[in-house]
Chains A and B, each alone.
Chain A
Amino acid sequence: MKKFLTYASVMLNSFQHFLVAAVFSFLFLSSNSNAQFKLPRYEIVTLDNGLTIYLMEKKDVPIISFSVLFDAGAIKDGETKGLSSFTAEALKFGTKNYSKDQIDSIFNFYGSSLNTYARLDYSGLYTEFMKNDLDKLLPVIKDIITNPTFPEEEIIKRKQRWVAELDQAKESPRQVIGAYYNNFLFTDSPYGNPVDGIKKTIEAVDRKAISSFYLDNVRSENCAIAVVGDFDSDKMKSELTNELGSWKVTTPRLINDLRFTNKNLKEPAVYLINKDNATETTFMIGGFGVPMSNQEQIQIDVINTILGGRFTSWLNDELRVNAGYTYGARSRFASYKTAGTFYISTFTATKNTEPAIDLAIKTYNRLFEKGIDEATLKSAKNYVKGQFPPEYETAGSLAGFLTQKYIYGLEDSYINDFEKTVDGMTVESANEIIKKYFPKDNLQYVLVGKGDEIRNIAKKYGKVIEKNISEDGF
Chain B
Amino acid sequence: MKYILIFFISAVTMFAQVKADDVKSFTLKNGMKIFVLEDSSIPNANMYFFYKVGSRNEYVGITGISHFFEHMMFNGAKKYGPKQFDRVMEANGGSNNAYTSENITAYTDWFPSSSIEVMFDLEADRIANLNFDPKMIESERGVILSERSTGLENNPLEQLWQETQATAFIAHSYQWPVIGWESDIKSWTKEDLENYFHTYYAPNNCIVVISGDVKLNEVKKLAEKYFEPIPAGPKPRSLHTVEPEQTGEKRLFVKREVPTPYIMMTYHVPQNGSEDYYSLDLLNSILSEGESSRLYNSIVDNQQLALEVGSMYMDAFDPTLFFFYGICNDGITAAQLEKAILDEVDKIIKDGISESELQKVKNQKLMNFYKTTETINGMSNTIGTYELFFGDYKKMFSAPDDYKKVTAEDIKNVAVKYFTKQNRTVGVLNTEEAQ
> Given the known A-B contacts A312-B83, A322-B139, are A393 and B374 also in contact in the complex, defined by CB atoms under 8 Å?
yes
A-binding segment of B4-12, B124-132, B264-272, B340-348: B4-12
A175: B residues at CB distance < 8 A: 154
Shortest Cβ distance from A470 into B: residue: B259
Please state if B289 and A108 are interface contacts (CB–CB under 8 Å): yes
Please state if A349 and B149 are interface contacts (CB–CB under 8 Å): yes
Please state if A324 and B140 are interface contacts (CB–CB under 8 Å): yes
Chain A positions 124-153 with a Cβ under 8 Å from a chain B Cβ:
128-130, 132-133
Please state if A312 and B87 are interface contacts (CB–CB under 8 Å): yes
Chain B positions 356-402 with a Cβ under 8 Å from a chain A Cβ:
356, 359-360, 363-368, 370-371, 373-377
Please state if A109 and B363 are interface contacts (CB–CB under 8 Å): yes
Q: Is B434 an interface residue (CB 8 A)?
A: no
Chain B positions 79-93 with a Cβ under 8 Å from a chain A Cβ:
83, 86-87, 90-93
Once bound together, how far apart are the Cα atoms of A34 and B141, in whole Å? 39
Please state if A393 and B356 are interface contacts (CB–CB under 8 Å): no
Once bound together, how far apart are the Cα atoms of A278 and B93, in whole Å? 38
For residue B268, give the distance in angstroms from its CB to the closest CB of chain A. Answer: 29
**Cβ proximity bits A109-135 to B, threshold 8 Å, 1 near / 0 not:** 111110000000000000011101100
Please state if B289 and A60 are interface contacts (CB–CB under 8 Å): no
> Given the known A-B contacts A161-B304, A390-B42, are A349 and B371 also in contact in the complex, defined by CB atoms under 8 Å?
no
Please state if B360 and A172 are interface contacts (CB–CB under 8 Å): no
**Cβ proximity bits B121-154 to A, threshold 8 Å, 1 near / 0 not:** 0000000000000000011111101110110111
> Given the known A-B contacts A104-B290, A379-B90, A383-B90, are A112 and B367 also in contact in the complex, defined by CB atoms under 8 Å?
yes
For residue A104, give the distance in angstroms from its CB to the closest CB of chain B. Answer: 4
For residue B374, give the distance in angstroms from its CB to the closest CB of chain A. Answer: 5
Q: Is B44 an interface residue (CB 8 A)?
A: yes
> Given the known A-B contacts A311-B95, A393-B374, are A171 and B141 also in contact in the complex, defined by CB atoms under 8 Å?
no
Once bound together, how far apart are the Cα atoms of A128 and B427, in whole Å? 36
Shortest Cβ distance from B328 into A: residue: A164
A279: B residues at CB distance < 8 A: 149, 152-153
| A109 contact from B40, B141, B356, B365, Cβ within 8 A | B356
Please state if B356 and A386 are interface contacts (CB–CB under 8 Å): no
Chain A positions 169-183 with a Cβ under 8 Å from a chain B Cβ:
170-175
Q: Is B425 an interface residue (CB 8 A)?
A: no
Q: Is B27 an interface residue (CB 8 A)?
A: no
Which of A60, A132, A165, A312 has the most CB atoms of chain B within a 10 A radius of its CB?
A: A60
For residue B286, give the distance in angstroms from its CB to the closest CB of chain A. Answer: 10
Please state if A61 and B153 are interface contacts (CB–CB under 8 Å): no
Please state if B367 and A348 are interface contacts (CB–CB under 8 Å): no
Please state if A389 and B43 are interface contacts (CB–CB under 8 Å): yes
Number of B residues, CB within 8 Å of A = 82
Once bound together, how far apart are the Cα atoms of A348 and B149, in whole Å? 9
Shortest Cβ distance from B8 into A: residue: A132
Q: Is B319 an interface residue (CB 8 A)?
A: no
Q: Is A323 an interface residue (CB 8 A)?
A: yes
Which of A34, A277, A321, A349 has the most CB atoms of chain B within a 10 A radius of its CB?
A: A321
Number of A residues, CB within 8 Å of B = 75
For residue A128, give the distance in angstroms from its CB to the closest CB of chain B. Answer: 8
Which of B6, B14, B43, B377 has the most CB atoms of chain A within a 10 A radius of its CB?
A: B43
A321: B residues at CB distance < 8 A: 83, 139, 143
Q: Is B297 an interface residue (CB 8 A)?
A: yes
A2: B residues at CB distance < 8 A: 40, 43, 213
Please state if B86 and A385 are interface contacts (CB–CB under 8 Å): no
Once bound together, how far apart are the Cα atoms of A323 and B139, in whole Å? 6
For residue B368, give the distance in angstroms from its CB to the closest CB of chain A. Answer: 8
B114: A residues at CB distance < 8 A: 33-34
Please state if B110 and A387 are interface contacts (CB–CB under 8 Å): yes
Q: Is A184 an interface residue (CB 8 A)?
A: no
> Given the known A-B contacts A2-B213, A167-B259, A280-B153, are A111 and B366 also in contact in the complex, defined by CB atoms under 8 Å?
yes
Q: Is A107 an interface residue (CB 8 A)?
A: yes
Q: Is A325 an interface residue (CB 8 A)?
A: yes
A276: B residues at CB distance < 8 A: 257
Once bound together, how far apart are the Cα atoms of A111 and B359, in whole Å? 9
Once bound together, how far apart are the Cα atoms of A325 and B1, in whole Å? 45
Q: Is A101 an interface residue (CB 8 A)?
A: yes
Once bound together, how far apart are the Cα atoms of A327 and B112, in whole Å? 27
Known: A60-B374, A324-B140, A382-B93. 6 other contacts (CB 8 A): A2-B40, A33-B112, A130-B363, A170-B259, A171-B258, A323-B139
* A-binding residues in B (CB < 8 A): 1, 3-4, 6, 8, 11-12, 14, 16-17, 40-44, 83, 86-87, 90-96, 110-115, 138-143, 145-147, 149-150, 152-156, 213, 256-260, 289-293, 297, 300-301, 304, 307, 327, 329-330, 356, 359-360, 363-368, 370-371, 373-377
A-B pairs with the 3 shortest C-beta distances? A386-B93, A324-B142, A111-B367
